[in-house]
Amino acid sequence: VSCGDPQRAGMRPISFVRQVIAVCLCPELLTEEIFPLDVRIRAQKLLEACDGQSVGSYTASSGLPHVRQTIAEFIMKRDGVPAYAENIFISSGAQRVFIKLLSGGEGQHQTGVLVPQPCPHTLLPVLDEAGVMAVPYRLIEEKNWAVDKSELHQALTTYRGRCELRAIYISNPGIPTGHLQDRKSIEEVIEFAAAERLMLLVDEVYQDSIYAPNREFISYKKVLFEMEKHLRDSVELVSFHSLSCAFVAECGLRAGYMEVVNIDSRVMHYVDTLLCTDINAPVTGQLALDLMLNPPKLGDPSYNTFAQETLLTQATLARNAQRALKLLNDLPGISCQPAKGGIYLYPHLDLPPEFRRQAKVRKGLEPVVFYCQMLLQEEGLITGPGQHDERTGSHHLRLCVLVPPDALDEVLYRLSTFHLRFVDSDVKSRK
């Protein structure tokens, strides 16, 4: 059983997305009445946007023009500010492409990027591969993983002279912490980036997955465009979104996009050139982006089913997060901040000193990695070890709650059984 990473096993996919993609892959279905009329009409329109009316054709390196326009229209509707298709780039790894663009230099001239601690578990390998130094800034756990200005300045001071800081990376909602920035917090980060002349790299992939009461997602772009003119005209912003979002979660279709704001046109040309050196995002993934951002509307034949499926996913995610949070906080030696959005919980583990010593001395492992190995061996449960915070010495687990409720029941039962046995054995060893 896995609860460390996103999965939809056993959860119903979004029928509209799957049906339209099916018709695009098998155009003979256009004349059949197996699927609703709006499915066939959308499939026809998307096929017309492909070269040769086939999903088997290549696309421009930056993506299908039709889909880029759909993305721009989605952003305009979401934020109430202009968005342009030429500022949209579709890729199967948009973050990797832009980080590669930033890379360069050696020694004290090596490119550095401020990254949250904790951060998405795939980010550090991407930075390392590109030769970019990760400069950690600590999120404040006791304040529900808040982004703190003093921590940003401390990271800046600590690494000054060791690299050339070029950007700050943000995930909002937070991965894997589930924190959600409010307008004031976003404004503070934008002002910090402007003062230090840093590019903002903002991962907003879980923007559709906010379940905290009386909270809503606000994009960095929306906040930026409502700030003073000198900021909205100068702060460089790159925002990311993808099919990995919670309600679609078609991770295997490998497509996402980035929107760039206030980026020099020469840099834009270089981004497009970099994309040319990579394989373009799968056409089916690009079409799924179009469907995700322009879903059925009220009155369409597919609307009721679509609404039911998305509401079910969102309700399941919210209930799962609440249930898991309660159980985790009831276990001895575990505490967890409530998530406001996203698909993860990030519980804190208070591991006994003797266990930590054994993990390092006998196994040569970080204690939380040893804990996860034991959990896998004894209970067959896969969890993601969190990042070790050297300043605080704290340990965490990464738990994905986007799973069917019955699967979550099994996960929580195995985890609690193992942990209570683990705590009991530690108590006995100290007697």
152-193: pLDDT as tens digits: 999 999 998 899 999 999 999 999 999 999 999 999 999 999
Per-residue confidence (pLDDT) for residue 5, from 0 to 100: 46
Q: Where residue 364 falls among pLDDT bands split at 50, 70, 90? A: confident
Per-residue confidence (pLDDT) for residue 427, from 0 to 100: 52
Q: How far is CA 35 from CA 13, 220, 242, 245, 279, in A?
A: 16, 38, 26, 25, 32
Check whether 368 has a pLDDT greater than 80.
yes
Sign of torsion over alpha carbons 23, 404, 94, 216 = positive
Q: Determine the average pLDDT of the residues in 295-316.
A: 95
Fold of 305-430: Aspartate Aminotransferase, domain 1 (3.90.1150)
- Rounded CA-CA distance 238/204 in Å is 10
317-345: pLDDT as tens digits: 999 999 999 999 999 999 999 999 999 99
346: left (phi over 0), alpha (psi -120 to 50) or beta: beta
Write out the two tokens for 276. 């040319």
Check whether 37 has a pLDDT greater than 80.
yes
Per-residue confidence (pLDDT) for residue 7, from 0 to 100: 45
Q: How far is CA 305 from CA 181, 250, 290, 308, in A?
A: 32, 18, 18, 5
Check whether 4 has a pLDDT greater than 60.
no
Per-residue confidence (pLDDT) for residue 428, from 0 to 100: 58
- The single-letter code of the amino acid at 390 is E
Check whether 422 has a pLDDT greater than 50.
yes
Residue holding tokens 């279709």?
253
Per-residue confidence (pLDDT) for residue 424, from 0 to 100: 77
Please say whether the beta carbons of 295 and 16 come within 8 A: yes
Q: Higher confidence at residue 11 or residue 119? A: 119
Per-residue confidence (pLDDT) for residue 109, from 0 to 100: 85
For residue 342, give every residue at least 6 positions away whose Cβ sits within 8 Å of its Cβ, in sequence order, or none: 173, 174, 175, 176, 177, 178, 206, 209, 246
Instruction: State pTM to two decimals.
Output: 0.93
Q: What is the SS3 string spanning the chain?
A: CECCCCCCCCCCCCHHHHHHHHHHHCHHHHHCCCCCHHHHHHHHHHHHCCHHHCCCCCCCCCCCHHHHHHHHHHHHHHHCCCCCHHHEEEECCHHHHHHHHHCCCCHHHCEEEEEEECCCCCHHHHHHHHCCEEEEEECEHHHCCECCHHHHHHHHHHHECCEEEEEEEEECCCCCCCCCCCHHHHHHHHHHHHHHCCEEEEECCCCCCECCCCCCCCCHHHHHHCCCHHHHCCCCEEEEEECCCCCCCCHHHCCEEEEEECCCHHHHHHHHHHHHCCCCCCHHHHHHHHHHHCCCCCCCCCHHHHHHHHHHHHHHHHHHHHHHHHHHHHCCCEECCCCCECCEECCEECCCHHHHHHHHHHHCCCHHHHHHHHHHHHHCCECEECCCECCCCEEEEEEECCCCHHHHHHHHHHHHHHHHHHHHHHHHHCC
For residue 265, give every residue at least 6 positions away whose Cβ sits within 8 Å of its Cβ, in sequence order, or none: none
Residue holding tokens 């915070």?
389
Write out the two tokens for 141. 């756990």
Per-residue confidence (pLDDT) for residue 151, from 0 to 100: 96
Check whether 38 has a pLDDT greater than 90.
yes
- The single-letter code of the amino acid at 124 is L
Q: How far is CA 317 from CA 224, 271, 285, in A?
A: 30, 36, 24
242-286: pLDDT as tens digits: 998 767 888 888 899 999 999 988 888 877 777 766 667 899 999
Window from 95-109, 337-351, 370-384 with minimum mean pLDDT: 95-109
pLDDT over 70 percentage in the chain: 94
Q: 38, 15, 39: which is closest to 26 by C-alpha?
A: 39
Q: Where residue 40 falls among pLDDT bands split at 50, 70, 90? A: very high
Fold of 61-286: Aspartate Aminotransferase; domain 2 (3.40.640)
Instruction: List the chain domain ranges.
Output: 61-286, 305-430
Per-residue confidence (pLDDT) for residue 13, from 0 to 100: 86
